[in-house]
């Protein structure tokens, strides 16, 4: 559905208009294959030697005119005949996402722990380690709310709860492996598994959680849902690979960053939303709404995360600040800041590896409006998420999904 990447890139490189940036960003759905990525490279070096100015990207004056709007002009709920679908949400009057989802969420962790059958006590302990109910559990919450919002369109189905569990399990398995790759010693205020028990055990723990999630997935018995999640796992790994490399060219870099963000964070949320939709509905338009909501919220979520890495106090996030810089990663705020302070370019390319790089980069980012621009971008993604989910029929859960985007934007940890 999205136009080919290279066309976006070309437009970006030739016009440097504001819209093209956003079109590029909106299309960052990670579906571009590496060959298309190469096509981008061949579109030629752009504007070398001409330092880009911040005015290139007039985020605030952007006239938002994505083709997605055109594509989705058919509003689903007003045109639909109100039918006598069973609604499973009816007792819910409050619109607070947490309260609404609470009933489905309370036993989620216990159910996950029950699914982790392990004969070795220690391995069992490690598998349960992060299912302690202390995480934000934002992913399963989105899944649960989406499931209920969609069930108005049809009859509801078993398996949706399993999807919420699988979502959290895949997320956790990937965290455990990421912590080994990044050498992190803290996560959610706890010492990481690799820090306490060593890397070998951490990897096996992640592998086991993934296998248990796959078993639950298989038991749902729906091949389409299995395929959706296999895409997630593929995206997660490819996203991790993308994080190893950096791009020389500035525009390439932004595209690379957003594609990585989609794969590492948004794909799981988008595809989980799609999965609960597939389970209750045969209408591909509704699957697409669910997917687009998840994708846009997911990208916004990660953008906010990248902002918090610069703005949050050391203890709030459960990990040290500027963690990304220390890992050599240039996230949104740095990429935007680089437009104001070209000095950052060299540091990005050497992955902040020289002495003092992290401190200097940090100062540049704080002096720039990189944080504001990244936050603004996150806001735009949330607006698109809202636009998408508004096409569903009204329900308290749908409204909770809308409110949830505000929470994604306003969270401070």
Partner 1 sequence: MLPSVCSRLSRVSWFCQGQRTLSLFSSSGSSNWSKVVSDAEKIVGYPTSFMSLRCLLSDELSNVAMHVRKLVGTQHPLLNTARGFVYDSKNNLQMRGLVVLLLSKAAGPSHTASDLLAQDMVSGIYPSQRNLAEITELIHTAFLVHRGIVDLKEWTVSDGPLKDMQFGNKMAVLGGDFLLANACTGLAQLDNTKVVELISSAIGDLVQGVYYENFNNIEENGLISGVNVAQWEEQIFLSHGALLAKSCQAAMELAGHDKESQRLAYKYGKHLSLGHKLNSDLQPFVKSDMGEPVSFSMSAAPVVFHRQIVGQERWHQQLQQAKTLGNQMDYSKLLAAVKSEKGVSSVVDLCCYHSNKALEAIQAFPSSEARSALENIASAITKF
Residue 42 · residue 13 · CB < 8 Å:
no
CA distance 197 to 201: 6
* Nearer residue to partner 1 within complex by CB, 137 or 202: 202
| Cβ distance to partner 1 smaller for residue 198 or 313 | 198
Q: Find, among 286, 300, 118, the residue nearest to 208 by Cα.
A: 118
Q: Residue 267 CB, nearest distance to partner 1 (Å)?
A: 12
CB 388 within 8 A of CB 289: yes
- CA-CA-CA-CA dihedral for 187, 191, 192, 198, to nearest 10: 170
Q: Which is nearer to partner 1, 194 or 405 (CB)?
A: 194
Q: What is the DSSP string of 264-320?
A: IIIHHHHHHHHHHHHHH---HHHHHHHHHHHHHHHHHHHHHHHHHHHHS-TTTTSS-
Q: Report how far residue 155's alpha carbon sits from residue 149's, in angstroms, rounded to the nearest whole number.
A: 11
In the complex, what is the shortest distance from the CB of residue 114 to partner 1, in angstroms, rounded to a whole number?
A: 14
396's tokens: 């308290």
CB of 204 to partner 1, least distance (A): 5
Q: How far is the CB of 167 from partner 1 (least distance, A)?
A: 15
Output the smallest distance, CB 159 to partner 1, in A.
11
Q: Which is nearer to partner 1, 111 or 199 (CB)?
A: 199
Q: By the 8 A CB rule, do 381 and 273 touch?
A: no
Q: What is the rounded CA–CA span in Å between residue 271 and residue 167?
A: 9
Find out whether 378 and 307 touch, Cβ atoms under 8 Å.
yes
Q: Is the dihedral of CA 114, 207, 236, 249 positive or negative?
A: positive
- Nearest residue (CB) to partner 1, 147 versus 220: 220
Cβ atoms of 115 and 165 within 8 Å: the answer is: yes
Identity of the residue, 75 or 125, whose beta carbon is nearer to partner 1 in the bound complex: 125
Give Cβ neighbours of residue 389 (< 8 Å, ≥ 6 apart).
149, 289, 293, 398, 401, 402
Q: By the criterion CB under 8 A, which residues form the site for partner 1?
A: 34, 117-120, 122-123, 177, 180-181, 183, 198-201, 203-204, 207-208, 210-212, 214-215, 217-223, 226-227, 229-231, 233-234, 236-238, 240-241, 244-245
- Where in 154-253 does DSSP place strands (E)? 186-187, 190-191
- Nearest-approach distance from CB 3 to partner 1, in angstroms: 23
Taking the complex as a whole, the smallest distance from the CB of residue 195 to partner 1 amounts, in Å, to: 9
Task: Give Rg (Cα) of the chain.
Answer: 21
Structure tokens at 308: 């918090």
In the complex, least distance from residue 218 CB atom to partner 1, rounded to whole angstroms: 4
Question: Which lies closer to partner 1 via its Cβ, residue 62 or residue 204?
Answer: 204
What gap in Å lies between CA 146 and CA 401, rounded to an integer? 7
Residue 228 vs 385, nearer CB to partner 1:
228
Minimum distance between the CB of residue 162 and partner 1, rounded to whole angstroms? 12
Least distance (Å) between residue 182 CB and partner 1: 9
Residue 13 structure tokens: 């490189």
CB of 215 to partner 1, least distance (A): 5
| Residue placing its CB nearer to partner 1 in the complex, 114 or 200 | 200
The owner of tokens 């093209």 is: 20
- With respect to partner 1, which residue has the nearer C-beta, 81 or 223? 223
Closer to partner 1 at the Cβ: 297 or 329?
329
What is the spatial distance between Cα 263 and Cα 243, in angstroms, rounded to a whole number? 11
């Amino acid at each position: 559905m999205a136009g080919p990447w290279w066309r976006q890139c070309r437009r970006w490189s030739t016009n440097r208009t504001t819209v093209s940036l956003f079109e590029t960003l909106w299309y960052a759905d990670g579906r571009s294959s590496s060959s298309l990525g190469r096509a981008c490279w061949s579109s030629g070096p752009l504007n070398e030697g001409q330092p880009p100015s911040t005015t290139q990207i007039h985020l605030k004056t952007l006239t938002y005119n994505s083709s997605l709007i055109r594509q989705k002009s058919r509003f689903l709920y007003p045109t639909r005949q109100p039918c006598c679908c069973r609604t499973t949400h009816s007792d819910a009057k409050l619109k607070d996402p947490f309260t609404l989802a609470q009933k489905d969420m309370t036993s989620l962790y216990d159910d996950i722990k029950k699914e982790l059958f392990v004969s070795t006590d220690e391995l069992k302990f490690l598998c349960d380690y992060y299912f302690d109910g202390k995480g934000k559990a934002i992913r399963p919450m989105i899944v649960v709310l989406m499931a209920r919002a969609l069930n108005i369109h049809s009859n509801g189905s078993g398996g949706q709860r399993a999807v919420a569990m699988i979502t959290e399990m895949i997320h956790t398995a990937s965290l455990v492996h990421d912590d080994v790759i990044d050498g992190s010693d803290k996560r959610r205020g706890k010492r990481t598994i690799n820090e306490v028990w060593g890397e070998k055990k951490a990897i096996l723990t992640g592998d086991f959680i993934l296998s248990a999630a796959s078993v639950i997935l298989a038991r749902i018995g729906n091949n389409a849902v299995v395929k959706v999640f296999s895409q997630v796992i593929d995206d997660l790994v490819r996203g991790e690979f993308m994080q190893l490399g950096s791009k020389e060219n500035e525009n390439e870099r932004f595209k690379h960053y957003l594609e990585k963000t989609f794969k590492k964070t948004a794909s799981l949320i988008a595809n989980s939303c799609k999965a609960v939709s597939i389970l209750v509905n045969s209408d591909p338009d509704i699957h697409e709404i669910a997917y687009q909501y998840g994708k846009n919220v997911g990208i916004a979520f990660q953008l906010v995360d990248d902002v918090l890495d610069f703005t949050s106090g050391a203890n709030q996030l459960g990990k040290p600040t500027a963690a990304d810089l220390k890992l050599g990663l240039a996230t949104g705020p740095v990429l935007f800041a680089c437009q104001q302070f070209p000095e950052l370019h060299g540091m990005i390319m050497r992955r902040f590896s020289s002495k003092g790089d992290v401190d200097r980069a940090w100062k540049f980012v704080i002096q720039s409006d990189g944080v504001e621009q990244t936050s603004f971008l996150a806001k735009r993604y949330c607006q698109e998420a809202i636009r998408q989910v508004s096409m569903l029929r009204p329900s308290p859960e749908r409204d909770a999904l809308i409110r949830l985007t505000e929470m994604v934007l306003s969270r401070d940890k």
